[in-house]
Chain A
Amino acid sequence: MAPIDYPQLRRLLDHGVQLVEVLPAGEYAEMHLPDAINIPLKTLDAATTAALDRHRPVVVYCWDGL
């Protein structure tokens, strides 16, 4: 797992990274990064991540990384 900052995120987004917001659904519905999907941390398992490609880069984010 690699922590990244905004410039690194920008480069990954330019290459079509899979972007996942792990906040609860209500917070995602109010506001999220373009093209992000929502898989809340509490629901993160093999079934909820089945649509993601395990061998392509994935970026996760929450509100402030804490």
Chain B
Amino acid sequence: MSPRAACRLTTLGFTHVHDYVGGKVDWLARNLPVHGTNADTPTIGQYLSDEVITAHPDEPVTDVRARVAASRHGFALVTDTNGILLGRLRGTTLSDADPARPVGEVMEGGPSTLRPHEPAAAIKARLTDKGLSYAVVTDPDGRLMGTVEPADL
């Protein structure tokens, strides 16, 4: 729809017309503020926790294992230098893998993620139904934003 609107404006004499191709959904998925009658609907983006343990793919398992053990979490998330989510290290992986291996070689690649504009109530119900204790949230570029837990929603 917006490409047609941009063309229409050009035909009406507008000289600098841009089409934000990501649109409203891209904006929402970046956890940015909106106005309107539904703007106050609770979303998971309002309950994000950034306490999750993160690791770079070239770190040895032993280092990440120690950080996870010292935290309240039983897992870690692997990101690149730009914060893009690459994978997940479950507790069993951290305890069973060769401590000297880089975590990038033992991680579970491409974990499922949610966007922050998902409604909190629906996500709480979904996580509870599936017996999941947390969900990973990323922005449209794949950048890790944090995690949410059903008890917090």
Chain B residues 99 to 115 lying within 8 A of chain A, measured CB to CB, are none
Whether A66 touches B30, Cβ cut-off 8 Å, given contacts A1-B18, A52-B14, A58-B9, is no
Q: Do A21 and B34 have beta carbons less than 8 Å apart?
A: no
Chain B residues 1 to 42 lying within 8 A of chain A, measured CB to CB, are 1-10, 12-28, 30, 32-39
Which residue in chain A gives the minimum CB-CB distance to B34?
A31
The listed residue (A45, A54, A62) touching B23 by CB distance below 8 A is A62
Chain B residues near A (Cβ < 8 Å) = 1-10, 12-28, 30, 32-39, 140
Taking the closest CB of chain A, its distance from the CB of B137, in whole angstroms, is 17
Complex CA gap A64/B25 in Å reads: 6
Complex CA gap A32/B12 in Å reads: 24
A-B contact count (CB 8 A): 136
Complex CA gap A62/B116 in Å reads: 19
Q: Do B8 and A57 have beta carbons less than 8 Å apart?
A: no
Interface residues on A, range: 35 or more
Q: Do A29 and B19 have beta carbons less than 8 Å apart?
A: no
The listed residue (B16, B19, B36, B37) touching A61 by CB distance below 8 A is B19
Scoring B18, B28, B30 by chain A CB atoms within 10 A of each residue's CB, the highest score goes to B18
Q: Do B13 and A34 have beta carbons less than 8 Å apart?
A: no
Q: Find chain B residues with CB under 8 A from A23 CB.
A: 1, 24
Q: Do B16 and A31 have beta carbons less than 8 Å apart?
A: no
Q: List 22 A-B contacts (CB under 8 A).
A: A1-B6, A6-B26, A6-B27, A9-B20, A22-B1, A23-B1, A31-B28, A31-B35, A32-B36, A41-B1, A41-B5, A44-B8, A44-B12, A54-B12, A56-B16, A57-B18, A58-B18, A60-B2, A60-B19, A62-B5, A62-B24, A65-B3
Q: Do A57 and B5 have beta carbons less than 8 Å apart?
A: no
Taking the closest CB of chain A, its distance from the CB of B25, in whole angstroms, is 5
Chain A residues near B (Cβ < 8 Å) = 1-6, 8-9, 12, 17, 20-23, 28-34, 41, 44-46, 49, 52, 54-66
Complex CA gap A41/B86 in Å reads: 39
